Amino acid sequence: MPEQTCSRCILDTTVPDISFNSNGICSFCRIHDSLEKTHPLDTNGNKKFSELIDEIKQQGKGNEYDCIVGVSGGRDSTYTLYKAVEMGLRPLAVHFDNGWNSETGVSNIKNATNKLNVDLNTVVADWEEFKDLQKAFLWASVSDAEVPTDYAILSVLLQEADRSGVKYVFNGHSFRTEGVAPIGWTYMDGRYIRSVHALFGKMKISSFPIMSMSQLLYYTFIKHIRMIDVPEFIEYKHSEVNDVLTNKLGWKYYGGHHHESVYTEFFQSYYLPKKFGIDKRKLEYSALIRSGQMKREDALKEIENPYPFNSEIVDYTLSKLGLTKEEFRQIMEAPRKSFKDYPTYYPIMQLGRYPIKVACSLHILPPVFYEKYLGG
């Protein structure tokens, strides 16, 4: 049993960087309230968002596309693409194929881009290279074993925006439905990925980008590319969104949050809970509780049962990665480590805390960036 659970959401002391105020409310609820203020859903918020869309259309004049939308076949990214078209934008859908797409995920992308008549650009990672990077993160014994995908997606989206002269990159994240991942659970930066790969990987990576800090600064401050999490600006209720996607785009659900990727399913349902005691449902449910989409008592009840996993998915994952049972046993039993055990940009980011705060308050960087990495 965790030592303390938040009195408002269900995050608890299994989150290493959590803290509680005198009312027993956690630091992640505070982040939620702060993001509510920067992304209000009232008339003022709506007005600002429609001004932003006008600005995007204006900037996109003369270009083939107004914005890039990262798509995975999952609910959030598919709906973001749908909204972009509905708002009259001309998006280019970009998908990063890391070799782990589920069949449902692939057909969701195909159906959505066909029905919305949107061009799709798929960047395919060389499987041997990507596998080498994923295994390096497993051997590193950190809970960030899914960040190679997340960071490669971010790097691909910014690279594609730069290449096609597009100034806006849309993502489907929302703090109201997914929360903000604690850095003790999920941390990523380019130096971290390169250093873990240098220590535990065997191959050179050349088929997909791993953006450095200077590239990120170049995209942000020289090319003025902005990242926008569209669901944070609109009413975004899972039940309604599911209906729209199913009826209008032939979209299918794949059974769990982000399980459109087989590796993500393995990672969330088996690797994280069994090795780190991390149950990511707590993050998602907490976000849904704060945004009034789930009852706290229902969430508490649901997490009483361990995260369900399918042993076939575990076996499939090991065989696809080429890990023997013995190697996997060593990985599962190795002492837990964190990003702080490896070279990262984290110390530099802490030194740059105030400029980053200013950039976030001006929405040059997403406000969530400061809250996640440097808030508290």
CB closer to Zn ion out of 29 and 331: 29
DSSP three-state, residue 217: helix
Task: Establish if 109 lies at the interface with Zn ion (CB under 5 A).
Answer: no
Task: Establish if 283 lies at the interface with Zn ion (CB under 5 A).
Answer: no
CB closer to Zn ion out of 32 and 39: 32
Task: Establish if 180 lies at the interface with Zn ion (CB under 5 A).
Answer: no
- Burial-class residue 322 by CB neighbours within 10 Å (0-12, 13-18, 19+): exposed
Task: Establish if 15 lies at the interface with Zn ion (CB under 5 A).
Answer: no
CB closer to Zn ion out of 133 and 180: 180
CB closer to Zn ion out of 34 and 122: 34
Minimum Å gap between C-beta 290 and Zn ion is 7
User: Which span (23-31, 40-48, 56-64, 327-335) binds Zn ion, by CB under 5 A?
Assistant: 23-31
Tokens standing for 91?
């998006």
Cα separation, 282 vs 199, in Å, equals 32
Task: Establish if 6 lies at the interface with Zn ion (CB under 5 A).
Answer: yes
Single-letter amino acid code for the residue at 293: Q
Which residue in the set 18, 29, 230, 323 belongs to the binding site for Zn ion (CB under 5 A)?
29
Cα separation, 294 vs 100, in Å, equals 30
Minimum Å gap between C-beta 26 and Zn ion is 3
CB closer to Zn ion out of 197 and 282: 282
User: Which span (22-30, 122-130, 252-260, 362-370) binds Zn ion, by CB under 5 A?
Assistant: 22-30
Task: Establish if 288 lies at the interface with Zn ion (CB under 5 A).
Answer: no
CB closer to Zn ion out of 32 and 95: 32
Minimum Å gap between C-beta 278 and Zn ion is 16
Q: How many residues bind Zn ion (CB under 5 A)?
A: 5
Tokens standing for 373?
């990495």
Which residue in the set 5, 9, 56, 209 belongs to the binding site for Zn ion (CB under 5 A)?
9
Minimum Å gap between C-beta 276 and Zn ion is 20
> How many residues are there in the chain?
376
DSSP three-state, residue 190: helix
Task: Establish if 31 lies at the interface with Zn ion (CB under 5 A).
Answer: no
Cβ-based neighbours of 243, under 8 Å, separated by 6 or more: none
Cα separation, 248 vs 117, in Å, equals 13
Per-residue b/e over 137-164, b at no fewer than 16 CB within 10 Å? bbbbbbbbbbbbbbbbbbbbbbbbbbee
Minimum Å gap between C-beta 34 and Zn ion is 13
Minimum Å gap between C-beta 144 and Zn ion is 22
Tokens standing for 324?
């023997």
Minimum Å gap between C-beta 289 and Zn ion is 8
Which residue in the set 15, 18, 26, 56 belongs to the binding site for Zn ion (CB under 5 A)?
26
CB closer to Zn ion out of 36 and 150: 36
**Which runs of consecutive H residues, i.e. helices, occur in the chain?**
27-38, 43-60, 75-86, 103-116, 127-139, 147-164, 175-178, 190-200, 213-217, 238-249, 262-266, 281-290, 296-304, 311-321, 325-333, 346-351, 353-361, 367-373
Task: Establish if 10 lies at the interface with Zn ion (CB under 5 A).
Answer: no
Tokens standing for 25?
């409310």
| Longest CA span, the chain | 59
Give the binding site for Zn ion (CB under 5 A). 6, 8-9, 26, 29
